[in-house]
Amino acid sequence: MLIEGIGLLITSLSFGLIMLFLIIGFPEIKKEFKKINQNTWILILIIFLIGAGIRFALPHANFIYSSEYSDLQAGKNILLHGKAELCEYEDFELLKCYSYKKMIGGPLLFAMAFSIFGVDNFVAINVATLFGSLSIFLMFLIGYLIFNERIAILSALFMALSPLHIFFSLSASIYIIGLFFVLLTIFAFLIFFKNKNTKVLILGALSIAFSIQILAELVLLIPLVIFMFFIFEKDLKKKVRNYKFWIPPLVSFIFFFLAFLQLSGNFYLISSVENKNIFENLIKMLQYTYEIHFFNLPFMPFPIFFICFSMYSFLNHRRKTVLIFFWFILFFSFYLFSHFIQLNIFLLFCPALALVNASGISFISGKIKKNSAFVFFAILLTILPFSMFNFYYFFQSQLKLETDIVNEIKNDIPENCYLIVANPTVFRSTSDVKAINIEKALDNKFIIYLEKKTDCIMFLSDVYCFFEDYNYSKIYQGDYCGSVIDLYELRSFKQYKKDKIYLYTVYNLSTKSATL
């Protein structure tokens, strides 16, 4: 309990100090961008508004097979009980809670939003959408600090229109939030290398700490920042001998080390023991790259494009391109040793690849003396349409319907009713619905509870009860749900429908004709 309280306190303090040092360091930060002309600022504002408009306008939904709902429940309990925990009903009378065994930076931000706008799925999703939109602007600033205005604008455009980044900005994804703080970390250190301001150095150190408090794997920012010092810092040997240089890194280490304690030894990413076949991970990552990102910026529509742009970028900006490749390889290599390979991990590669691609396109068009502007836009317009091919992912009706009914069902069923569902975490995330795991309903002891403890039991047949074929055109009853239908007498209470295909039903459940 004490360790968890310390972790929550340190994480909250980290975020508060980041806001403080952003404010007091703003005058120094602003000086580094005074050479950018007004037209460029107008253009980047347009790109930002387009990117943010897309993210806020498209349908929002959480994913059904990822951790969003657990993160939301942890955020809700931070607000209501001061603890990051997950709760479920062991039986009708006992709500058992246990510690949230992940970093709590994301849930903490959700809790802050809940305290202002109320506990709601879409409040949390809008938090991620906001951070995803702000990443577009940070992408421009980083591109400018590393390269120049032209490459910066292109990088921001790639980020604004990347289907991968847009896709996860539409859910309460902590990877989107984590990526924002990765960019903030790199941005702060790039500013420090230019103006040597201690306040900006502290901002960078705190950003590292808070990034790790969001996603444990972002501890990889430490070697990345060290590599940045070798690339950009000319008097590194002299600086490391000065004890003042080590104060911000030491503060950062203390912050994320204390936050790490809340994991209680359950560091869920060190998993090479579980999966020693790195080759299988590599194949899976390449498969994701081909199937999901083949027509996706910043991965580019054709591999040859990316290879050419990388080569041209290296020829023109050798040290900077090496830094970007190190960024990519660092995270890519780490996930080869991980037991999970999920689509969201590719978010952490997006900025690095966008920078390389933007640099390559800018270099190619710049080498063509005649009509260079025409060539520049021709290449861009050839690539951008391909990025739209993945937009069909944004309209998965089953995701939207599952997210919607979390809000609707808490108003539709009586407060004293218990709801049998395949995934109780979905309904415990932002509501007080008495959701019970469907497996308990298949236990004979559970039937006795049904008869003696309550007169209102309901069952929800939702997305987890259906199997979808590749084209999302057929729906089949799942095993657990089918068993409930066979075991109990069900009467339809209310139906939720989306796009004529997806139909989720709440049933009144009766044990009178149940077979023991």
- 199-228 pLDDT, tens digit per residue, is 898 899 889 989 988 988 888 898 999 888
How are the residues of the chain apportioned to helix, strand and coil, as percentages rounded to the nearest 5? 70, 10, 25
Give 243-251 contacts, CB < 8 A, sequence gap 24+.
Answer: 244/198, 248/198, 248/201, 248/202, 248/204, 248/205, 249/205, 251/202, 251/205, 251/206, 251/209
pLDDT above 90 coverage of the chain, percent? 23
Is 90 exceeded by the pLDDT of residue 115? yes
- Greatest Cα pair distance in the chain: 85
Residue with tokens 């619905």: 433
How many other CB atoms are there within 10 angstroms of residue 75's CB atom?
30
For residue 97, what are the β-bridge partners?
A: 87
Of the pLDDT bands very low, low, confident and very high (cuts 50, 70, 90), residue 293 is very low
Asked whether the predicted pLDDT for residue 513 surpasses 50, the reply is: no
Q: Residue 294: what pLDDT?
A: 40
Can you give the C-alpha Rg of the chain in angstroms? 25
Average pLDDT rounded to a whole number, residues 70-94: 83
Task: Collect all residues with Cβ–Cβ distance below 8 Å to 100 and sequence separation of at least 6.
Answer: 70, 74, 77, 84, 85, 86, 107
Question: What confidence score (pLDDT) does residue 85 get?
Answer: 87
Per the listing, tokens 């990102």 go with: 293
| CA dihedral of 151, 155, 161, 163, whole degrees rounded to 10 | 140
Q: Is the pLDDT of residue 313 over 90?
A: no
Beta strands in 323-404 (DSSP E): none
How many helices (H) and strands (E) in the chain?
Answer: 22, 9
pLDDT of residue 272: 38
Mode of pairing for the β-strands spanning 418-421 and 457-461: parallel
- At how many degrees (to 10) do helices 2-24 and 198-214 cross? 140
What are the pLDDT digits (tens) for 20-60? 999 999 999 999 999 999 999 999 999 999 999 989 998 88
Question: For position 484, what pLDDT does the model report?
Answer: 78
Neighbours of 477 (CB within 10 A): 14
Q: How much is the pLDDT for 83?
A: 86
Is the model's pLDDT at 454 over the cut of 70? yes
Average pLDDT taken over every residue of the chain: 76
What are residue 62's phi and psi, to 5 degrees? -85, 160
CA dihedral (151, 152, 153, 155) positive or negative: positive
The model carries a pTM of: 0.84
Flag whether pLDDT at 451 surpasses 70.
Answer: no
CA distance 183 to 54: 21
pLDDT value for 320: 79
Going from the C-alpha of 398 to that of each of 69, 226, 248, 475, the distances in angstroms are 15, 44, 47, 11
Least confident of 177-181, 355-359, 404-408, 508-512: 508-512
Measured CA to CA, the distance from residue 386 to residue 379 in angstroms comes to 12
Residue 368: what pLDDT? 63
Whether residue 189 has pLDDT greater than 90 = yes
Q: Tokens for 244?
A: 């003042």
Residue 492 is classified by DSSP as: E
Task: Please give the helix or strand (H or E) that residue 10 lies within, else none.
Answer: helix 2-24
**Sign, CA torsion 503/504/510/515:** positive
Per-residue pLDDT band at 295 (split at 50, 70, 90): very low
In the predicted structure, residue 273 carries a pLDDT above the cut 60? no
Q: What is the mean pLDDT of residues 410-422?
A: 84
Q: Could you give the CA distance from residue 296 to residue 286 in angstroms, rounded to a whole number? A: 14
E strands, 338-482, are 418-421, 434-437, 457-461, 466-468, 475-477
Pick the more confident residue, 321 or 78. Answer: 78
Residue 139 has pLDDT above 90, yes or no: yes
Count CA atoms within 13 Å of residue 401 on its CB side. 19
pLDDT score of 340 more than 90:
no
Distance between CA atoms of residues 69 and 82, nearest Å: 18
Q: Comparing 453 with 82, which gets the higher pLDDT? A: 82
Which of 222, 203, 227 lies closest to 212, judged by CA?
222
Tokens coding 65: 């097979």
Give pLDDT, residue 41. Answer: 94
Question: Over the range 436-449, which residues count as b (16 or more CB within 10 Å of their CB) and which as e?
Answer: bbbebbeeeebbeb
Q: Taking 60 as the threshold, does the pLDDT of residue 516 lie above it?
A: no
Contact 105, 70 (CB under 8 A): no
Tokens of 270: 């060190």
Could you report how far apart the first and last alpha carbons of the chain are, in Å? 42
Identify whether the C-beta of residue 473 lies closer than 8 Å to the C-beta of residue 461. Answer: no
Tell me the β-bridge partners of 421.
437
Select from 322, 6, 358 the least CA-distant residue to 148: 358
Check pLDDT > 90 for residue 418. Answer: no
When pLDDT is cut at 50, 70 and 90, the band that residue 257 belongs to is low
pLDDT score for 380: 60
Is pLDDT above 70 for 316? no
How sure is the predictor about 386, in pLDDT bands with cuts at 50, 70 and 90?
low
Q: What is the pLDDT of residue 292?
A: 44
Q: Are 376 and 328 within 8 A, CB to CB?
A: no
pLDDT at 389: 47
pLDDT at residue 136 in the model: 95
Q: What is the pLDDT of residue 211?
A: 92
Mean pLDDT for 97-115 is 89
Residue pair 229/201 in contact by the 8 Å Cβ criterion: no
The per-residue pLDDT for 338 is: 62
- For 498, left (φ over 0), alpha (ψ -120 to 50), or beta? beta
For the chain, the residue count is 516
Which of 198, 212, 194, 215 has the alpha carbon at shortest distance from 142?
194
Q: Where are the beta strands (DSSP E) in 378-474?
A: 418-421, 434-437, 457-461, 466-468
Of the candidate ranges 93-102, 287-296, 414-423, 498-507, the one whose mean pLDDT is the lowest = 287-296
